[in-house]
Amino acid sequence: MRPAELRYTRALTTEDLGQLLARGDATPMAGGQGLMRDLRNRSMVVSTLVDISRLTELAYVKEDGDALEIGAVTTLAAVAADGHVAARCAALATAAARVADVQIRNRGTVGGNVCGSWLPSTWSNDVGVVLAACDGSLLVQNGAEVRTLNAREFLAARSNPLAARDFIRALRFPLAAGSAYVRLSRRWADASIGSAAAFVDRVDGRLRVGLAVGRISERPLALDSVARTIEADGIDSPTVGEACAAATSSVEFADSVQADAEYRRSVLPVIVTRSVREAMTAGGIQ
């Protein structure tokens, strides 16, 4: 199918964007690589589309204090190819490089990816899993005001929690000594059927773990209690599997043609363990 009638506009500055959003009927689109699927099958109909892919002021990678800040319209390809990201946050570099394929990463953006959870046709969200694992945040602008949102709360929302005039300026990823992203899929360039991001550090001689999983349920899910178990008992402890089961006892595991819910429940401890091990190796932590 092809999209229904719509009005196309473009914002070249965040000021433009603010004004367009203020009209009330505008939907921002960055790379559009998820959104377009819904526009084409008409599961989503928009009256005005605001193309924000040319907001060059929001396409950047910078290290700010102890966090990496990525502009919202930075393409996944740019993040995946960025040497600084690879060196400082391997989990993010891997996640960005594993979204779909080269062509889609050339248009798709990190900001768009974390909003993927709320599209009707998909709930793909790789960058969001990394953001949840490191307990990151989003910089959200409304008019002239910029505020910080907790990423985990943002990502867990049933529907897009942004207010009418809000737009995402950037994502902030607190850094750790080692990080990793493990992603299972039926084919290499395919929807994830379970992914895990881990951030590990040694703080005062003690192991510190940040952990989240994706595509296990329909939203990225931080697993703090599992992280605490690993910190206390070590990654090789049988209590890790028990902690995974306990942490997800009330979670509704997702069912899709790629993998059923039971599968996702089964592989959860596997991907958690693999991601933490890989992050420890990457961070030189034993």
156 contacts other proteins (rule: CB under 8 A): no
The continuous run of DSSP H or E covering 226 comes out as: helix 224-233
Nearest to 179 by CA among 117, 130, 240: 130
Q: Which x/- pattern over 227-256 shows residues binding other proteins (rule: CB under 8 A)?
A: -----------------------------x
194-223: contacts with other proteins (CB under 8 A):
none
Helix, strand or coil, per DSSP, at residue 174: strand
Rounded to whole angstroms, how far apart are CA atoms 222 and 225?
9
117 contacts other proteins (rule: CB under 8 A): no
Figure out which of the listed residues 187, 236, 238, 286 binds other proteins, where binding follows CB under 8 A.
187
102 contacts other proteins (rule: CB under 8 A): yes
DSSP state of 219: S
Q: Nearest approach, Cβ of 265 to other proteins (angstroms)?
A: 10
Figure out which of the listed residues 43, 47, 160, 281 binds other proteins, where binding follows CB under 8 A.
47
Nearest to 18 by CA among 45, 50, 44, 48: 50
Figure out which of the listed residues 48, 142, 217, 239 binds other proteins, where binding follows CB under 8 A.
48
Figure out which of the listed residues 44, 104, 177, 282 binds other proteins, where binding follows CB under 8 A.
104
User: What one-letter code names the amino acid at 217?
Assistant: S
Distances (CA, A) of 239 to 92, 178, 230, 233, 267: 28, 22, 8, 7, 16
Residue recorded with tokens 């990654």? 235
What residues make contact with other proteins under the rule CB under 8 A? 1-12, 16, 19-20, 32-33, 36-37, 40-42, 47-49, 51, 53, 77, 100-104, 106-107, 121, 184, 186-191, 193, 256-260, 262-263, 266-267, 270-271
